[in-house]
């Protein structure tokens, strides 16, 4: 196990308090199946929807508005939901306001409002059970609160939601499903959008049943079964996830429909016939960076740099330099030499004085021949030693030294117009990988060679002398053992085949990209933050001093990475080694550190204290605490000599007894 020692200094941090003002406005609302209008005066002026550029919130606002009209029977329970977020500018101005809060307000006449006091009134999803026929209006307030002192800021208000209590049930005969975004990114980055919301539009609109949500692949994305809020994976898994809305009618029947959402890294592969052009479009919620942000100014700019890369040598070249804000790239007319070329874009945005950057996935250009051989490569991988359920055909996770990784490739000539002669198959492997066996068409062979490739920093497994007649295919199976992994790492490679057609013209075809993510099967402390307790008076009253807000939840104090497969119970200990000492003298501070857990505390001075213990099969996650919990500085009421005091902490992970 590893020990981390960190030195803490004493500097006091003050956070200013901000507030937001609100306004009223009037608007007309027409009830379903009504001819008259009801003038509704909102509790507060609706803040509107948030605006984004990719994943950056340009303005604060709602990303989930409560349904404008909801119908239900008297005595029936249904829910309405809303959610909002802060822009980057507002987040920076209210950095200490970490606790997000909700409050629903309601009105029965559209003019007089009061706080909803039901059990769910302080949650984003409100449960409603009417006791009589009529309309009730609701508006959600979202704000952020500073812990302990309860100061509030960044008030946001939803559109008004009308809830219609009716005497008779109404069944739906159909439903349309939409989503705010049809493309979500699959990586964790401040710049890109990984979340959206699906909406169900029943027919008729005054349907009184309930709606539930599901997805067909939770490895790609998950969904809130009540609200329809969708969150994509951040493990770079790509594909299409089907989002299904199911309407549950009062008569017991169900009606369903779906919406497909693409999950990816920003670009999609393109396939064209030789002689045609191909266009790569930057996907996702591009938004409008020209809009003003929350500071009322438009001081933002962005650039997009496009690159193409050789799939074998990985030589990269910048293209389309004359248009630094192009959101798409169109190739010249393609040739077979372009087959397998990778394209990517690097997006850089300067927003509110800060620079953000994102690199898309590699997208492949596939060029189909008009005649001659047409080889396809279907390549897959399998970790026969370990699979936690997240592996795909071309991406493996949690691969360790000693794992048996098997490659299975099918090579086929899909044409009636030409053969591929004198063909060579190449499979790049990570340096250090041990080849256990090679099979061609199911028969084991030693007719291969391993060659070190200094250009790609890989070891190429090469099989020569292959031939492909019309519609002929071959299979290649390579069993390997992982070795030489000494840190968390990843490698990517692309199998390919070269040869000559019947006219002696060179031919090349590449397969799909294989990605292996390696780990060390360990649990380790990656970082333990220093803590500044500020500038203190020489005479202190007895009591505790809190950490700076940036070291309280939702932020972590100590970052831990647990990649163990067999997760036995462990404990995380921390100890203050020695007194706080004045750096300029031998004076000792009249205070020491304690670990607080609720109303209980433990002295840390020369005393290792367990701050967390896992159960068997539970990972040890990064640790953080609220303002009044965790490691706090306890001061005695004594005089201290002026100076800078410091001490050392030991963090240690040990097997539990």
**Residue 606 CB neighbour total at 10 angstroms:** 11
* Secondary structure (DSSP) of 275-332: T---EEE--S----TTS--TTS----EEEEEEEEE-TTT--EEEE-TT-TT-SEEE--
Looking at the predicted structure, is the pLDDT value of residue 299 above 90? Answer: no
pLDDT of residue 18: 25
Closest CA to 290 of 598, 58, 120, 28: 58
For the structural domain made of 31-166, what CATH number should be given?
2.60.40.10
**Residue of 298 and 475 predicted with greater confidence:** 475
The three-point CA angle 247-197-207 to 5° equals 25
Assess contact for 257 and 243: CB atoms under 8 A.
Answer: no
pLDDT (average), residues 588-600: 92
**Residue of 218 and 291 predicted with greater confidence:** 218
For the structural domain made of 270-368, what CATH number should be given?
2.60.40.10
pLDDT of residue 336: 86
What's the token pair of residue 21? 């003002």
Q: Do domains 174-264 and 523-655 have the same CATH topology?
A: yes
What's the token pair of residue 488? 């968390």
Length of the chain, please?
A: 657
d(CA 589, CA 643): 10
- Residue 329 neighbours by CB under 8 Å, 6+ apart: 279, 280, 306, 319, 320, 343, 345
Q: What is the DSSP letter of 209?
A: S
What is the pLDDT confidence band of residue 388, given thresholds at 50, 70 and 90? confident
d(CA 157, CA 151): 18
**Residue 151 CB neighbour total at 10 angstroms:** 16
pLDDT of residue 538: 76
Looking at the predicted structure, is the pLDDT value of residue 2 above 50? Answer: no
CATH second-level architecture of 523-655?
Sandwich (2.60)
pLDDT of residue 393: 95
Average per-residue pLDDT for the chain: 88
The percent helix, strand, coil of the chain (3-state, each to 5) is: 0, 50, 50
pLDDT of residue 137: 97
pLDDT (average), residues 455-459: 92
Which range has the worst mean pLDDT, 68-77, 256-265, 324-333, 632-641?
632-641
pLDDT of residue 527: 94
pLDDT of residue 385: 96
pLDDT of residue 212: 96
Q: Which residue has the tokens 């963090």?
A: 651
* Secondary structure (DSSP) of 394-438: TEEEEE-TT-EEEEEEEEEE--SS--EEEEEEEEEEETTPEEEEE
pLDDT of residue 346: 95
**Residue of 5 and 316 predicted with greater confidence:** 316
pLDDT of residue 293: 56
* Secondary structure (DSSP) of 445-499: ----EEEEETTTTEEEEEEEEEEE-TT-EEEEEEEEE-----SSEEEEE--EEEE
pLDDT (average), residues 187-192: 83
pLDDT of residue 416: 76
pLDDT of residue 30: 31
Looking at the predicted structure, is the pLDDT value of residue 93 above 90? Answer: no
What's the token pair of residue 407? 């490659």
User: Rg (Cα) of the chain, in Å, rounded?
Assistant: 31
Looking at the predicted structure, is the pLDDT value of residue 129 above 90? Answer: yes
What's the token pair of residue 238? 């790509």
pLDDT of residue 136: 96
Q: What is the DSSP letter of 551?
A: G
The pTM score is: 0.71
Strands (E), 74-224: 78-81, 83-85, 99-107, 114-115, 125-128, 134-145, 152-157, 161-166, 174-179, 183-185, 195-203, 210-215, 221-223
- Long-range contacts, 332-335 (Cβ 8 Å, 24+): 332/277, 333/275, 333/276, 333/277, 334/272, 334/274, 334/275, 334/276, 334/277, 334/278, 334/365, 334/367, 335/274, 335/275, 335/367
Closest CA to 25 of 1, 57, 47, 53: 47
pLDDT (average), residues 481-504: 93
Assess contact for 567 and 617: CB atoms under 8 A.
Answer: yes
Q: Virtual CA dihedral for 444, 449, 452, 457, nearest 10 degrees?
A: -40
Looking at the predicted structure, is the pLDDT value of residue 345 above 80? Answer: yes
- Residue 630 neighbours by CB under 8 Å, 6+ apart: 547, 557, 595, 596, 611, 624
What is the pLDDT confidence band of residue 145, given thresholds at 50, 70 and 90? confident
CATH second-level architecture of 174-264?
Sandwich (2.60)
Phi, psi of 392 (to 5 degrees): -120, 180
**Residue of 428 and 13 predicted with greater confidence:** 428
Looking at the predicted structure, is the pLDDT value of residue 316 above 80? Answer: yes
Q: What is the DSSP letter of 187?
A: B
For the structural domain made of 375-518, what CATH number should be given?
2.60.40.740
Q: Where are the domains of the chain?
A: 31-166, 174-264, 270-368, 375-518, 523-655
pLDDT of residue 408: 98
Beta strands 270-273 and 254-264, pairing class: unpaired
- Residue 75 neighbours by CB under 8 Å, 6+ apart: 129, 130, 131
What is the pLDDT confidence band of residue 368, given thresholds at 50, 70 and 90? confident
**Residue of 166 and 314 predicted with greater confidence:** 166
């Amino acid at each position: 196990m590893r020990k981390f020692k960190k030195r803490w200094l004493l500097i006091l941090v003050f956070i200013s308090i901000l507030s937001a003002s609100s306004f009223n406005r009037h608007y007309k609302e027409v009830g379903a199946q009504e001819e008259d209008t009801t003038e509704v005066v909102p509790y507060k002026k609706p803040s509107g929807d948030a605006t984004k550029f990719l994943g950056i919130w340009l303005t604060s606002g709602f990303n989930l508005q409560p349904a404008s009209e909801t119908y239900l029977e008297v005595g029936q329970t249904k829910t309405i939901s809303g959610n909002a977020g802060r822009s980057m500018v507002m987040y920076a101005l209210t950095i200490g306001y970490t606790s997000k809060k909700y409050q629903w307000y309601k009105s029965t006449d559209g003019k007089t409002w009061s706080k909803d006091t039901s059990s769910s009134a302080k949650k984003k999803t409100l449960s409603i059970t009417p006791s009589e026929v009529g309309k009730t209006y609701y508006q959600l307030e979202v704000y952020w609160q500073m812990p302990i002192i309860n100061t509030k800021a960044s008030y946001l208000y939803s559109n008004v939601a009308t809830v219609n209590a009716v005497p008779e049930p109404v069944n739906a005969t159909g439903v349309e499903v939409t989503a705010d975004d049809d493309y979500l990114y699959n990586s964790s980055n401040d710049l890109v959008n990984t979340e959206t919301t699906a909406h169900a539009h029943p027919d008729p609109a005054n349907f009184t049943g309930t709606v539930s949500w599901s997805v067909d692949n939770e490895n790609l994305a998950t969904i809130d079964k009540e609200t329809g809020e969708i969150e994509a994976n951040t493990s770079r898994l790509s594909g299409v996830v089907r989002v299904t809305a199911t309407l549950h009618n009062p008569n017991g029947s169900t009606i369903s429909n779906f919406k497909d959402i693409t999950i990816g890294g920003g670009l999609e592969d393109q396939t064209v016939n030789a002689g045609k052009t191909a266009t790569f479009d930057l996907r996702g919620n591009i938004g409008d960076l020209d809009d003003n942000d929350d500071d009322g100014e438009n001081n933002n700019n962005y650039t997009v740099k496009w690159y193409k890369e050789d799939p074998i040598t990985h030589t990269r070249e910048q293209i389309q330099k004359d248009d630094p804000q192009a959101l798409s790239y169109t190739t010249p007319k393609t040739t077979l030499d372009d087959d397998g070329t990778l394209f990517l874009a690097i997006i850089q945005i300067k927003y509110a004085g800060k620079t953000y950057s994102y690199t898309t996935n590699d997208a492949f250009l596939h060029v189909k021949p008009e005649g001659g051989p047409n080889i396809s490569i279907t390549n897959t991988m399998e970790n026969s030693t370990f699979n936690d359920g997240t592996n795909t055909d071309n991406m493996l996770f949690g691969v360790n030294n000693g794992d048996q990784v098997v490659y299975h490739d099918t090579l086929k000539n899909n044409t009636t117009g030409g053969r591929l002669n004198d063909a060579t198959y190449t499979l790049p492997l990570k340096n250090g990988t041990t080849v256990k066996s090679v099979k061609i068409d199911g028969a084991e062979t030693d007719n291969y060679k391993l060659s070190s490739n200094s250009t790609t920093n890989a070891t190429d497994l090469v099989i020569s002398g292959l031939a492909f007649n019309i519609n002929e295919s071959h299979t290649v199976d390579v069993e390997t053992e992982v070795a030489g992994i000494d840190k968390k790492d990843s490698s990517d490679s692309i199998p390919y085949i070269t040869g000559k057609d019947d006219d002696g013209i060179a031919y090349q075809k590449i397969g799909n990209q294989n990605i292996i993510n390696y780990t060390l099967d360990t649990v380790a402390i990656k970082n333990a933050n220093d803590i500044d307790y500020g500038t203190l008076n020489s005479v202190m009253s007895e009591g505790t001093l809190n950490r700076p807000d940036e070291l309280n939840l939702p932020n972590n104090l100590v970052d831990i990475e647990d990649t163990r497969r067999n997760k036995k119970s462990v404990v995380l200990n921390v100890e203050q080694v020695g007194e706080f000492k004045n750096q300029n003298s031998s004076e000792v501070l009249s205070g020491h550190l304690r670990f607080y857990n609720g109303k209980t505390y433990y002295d840390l001075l020369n005393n290792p204290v367990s701050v967390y213990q896992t159960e068997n099969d539970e990972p040890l996650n990064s640790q953080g605490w609220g303002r009044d919990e965790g490691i706090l500085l306890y001061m005695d009421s004594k005089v201290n000599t002026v100076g800078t005091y410091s001490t050392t902490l030991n963090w240690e992970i040990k097997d539990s007894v």
